[in-house]
Structure 1
């Protein structure tokens, strides 16, 4: 029985957010203290792929600070033997209460670590069995080598992510990293008609780019950009010819949204014109009830038909703080969309608007 070196709890806690950065699904389960302690116990017990040693959640709840500091091999072997025996003694000052086994098992391990191939499951053991069934994936453990740091650590993490995360997860992570980068002089946006506009660099501009280049072709049949602005109410694009053709009046001095998209519809499918008011949220400012009412009033005064209006709030990602902060404020009768998951949309449907609010999902290509 070969027991591996045990990285410190502090080192594990420090590296988890690097291995699972913003954009990782269920990231809160993967980077919290409970996750770090779960990994620590697996290292402590030698539960690593290929060792035929495994842990169960009760070993994590019953671990103590005093025991965790006894990292010599004999102490660790004795602890594992005692913890898996029928004569196990109750721990004094355990890390967690006994009823914490469920969040460790269901959230941290099953929902968080197993889908990302950081933890493996012992085969042939019934789910109702009390036998230990979890171990660390071997390559994953190498990311916690004490000697690994700097560029070497970053390269190892990136390689592990490429090998073990799904293609969708990798794409999501890359996109999330781009939102944190300031290596842009400007953000170039290509409109549906091929026209190109530039915005100042920043997260809001990247979300605006995604709305026009990713959202519009996915959810609209014949999209046009009627209005685009950026921070400071700077008007980047205003299609006056289209507005006049539609009989609409746009007053830049009014509190307009970040983007106004127009879908000219599709005669063959019976889809009518739709005007989509979009707010881009990198920090604050979703379409809440009050904002929806203001925009509806502005739209009707400008000549828009209320039956042909829709409202969208665009975010970076479901895991981002702006979305978590805004979700309880989002207006009923509006939509939420995430640039990191461009094929999906949240429909905050009102019962009495059920017919109108199918318009975006009907248009989805």
Structure 2
């Protein structure tokens, strides 16, 4: 028992004293065996710690609207802000009416998953650890977009591209490989790691793509 607490001391200081709340003290003092009315009334009038923490988390979440209109809630962070930009900015521009088939959250790996559609496209096992960050499918073009979100690591490098090509060898859709960056500064850090025959999209320049595709798009602009 600490009889004389040190004011303004750190919470983990052994010399710091604690006391119960006065209203909780009244519940303890007036408690009678087999009479739970007062404790019950006390609990009903107060929010539990778990409820308070959940409420705080809900306030900070980022909402993302899928092309179908469904709204998802992402946990906070730049990684998820970039995923939001991919879904709400990249896909409407370059997705040819693509629908999102998979997107994970930093707090929940399978936040949204259309396993039936992926299975019908003969996509690889969803439990595999090599899943990209976002998967979208354009039925109009029969294109499957495999999108990697790069905040601090993980562009589509030559080795990553080779792995994804092996895993999608049986897929019935044509694959489009995309690495997404939040800004040009981050892109510059990873430019030497990006594989040929892939695309790069930068959220701060949403109307442009960077093609790492050799001579595929060589020609004058008109």
1:314 and 2:180 aligned = yes
Say if 2:124 and 2:167, in contact at 8 Å, map to a contact too. Answer: no
CA distance in 1 between counterparts of 2:159 and 2:122 reads 26
Say if 1:277 and 1:312, in contact at 8 Å, map to a contact too. Answer: yes
Say if 2:183 and 2:204, in contact at 8 Å, map to a contact too. Answer: yes
Residues 297 and 191 (structure 1), Cα distance of their counterparts in 2 relative to 1, 3 Å cut: same
The aligned counterpart of 1:197 is: 72
List aligned pairs for 1:22-101, cutoff 5 A.
Answer: none
The aligned counterpart of 1:304 is: 171
Q: Which residue of the other structure, out of 141, 145, 156, is the alignment partner of 1:276?
A: 145
CA distance in 2 between counterparts of 1:209 and 1:200 reads 11
Say if 1:187 and 1:199, in contact at 8 Å, map to a contact too. Answer: yes
CA deviation profile, 1:3-58 (whole Å, cap 9, x unmatched): xxxxxxxxxxxxxxxxxxxxxxxxxxxxxxxxxxxxxxxxxxxxxxxxxxxxxxxx
Alpha-carbon RMSD across the aligned residues, in angstroms, is 2.1
1:241 and 2:127 aligned = no
The aligned counterpart of 1:286 is: 155
Q: Which residue of the other structure, out of 346, 351, 358, is the alignment partner of 2:210?
A: 346
> Quick check: which one's helix share is greater?
1
The aligned counterpart of 2:31 is: none
Residues 232 and 244 (structure 1), Cα distance of their counterparts in 2 relative to 1, 3 Å cut: same
TM-score (norm 2): 0.67
CA distance in 2 between counterparts of 1:250 and 1:186 reads 29
CA distance in 1 between counterparts of 2:123 and 2:94 reads 23
TM-score (norm 1): 0.41
Question: Where does the alignment leave 5 or more consecutive residues of structure 1 unmatched?
Answer: 1-183, 266-271, 358-365
The aligned counterpart of 1:328 is: 192
Question: Where does the alignment leave 5 or more consecutive residues of structure 2 unmatched?
Answer: 1-58
> Quick check: which one's strand share is greater?
2
CA deviation profile, 1:261-288 (whole Å, cap 9, x unmatched): 11111xxxxxx31011100011111111
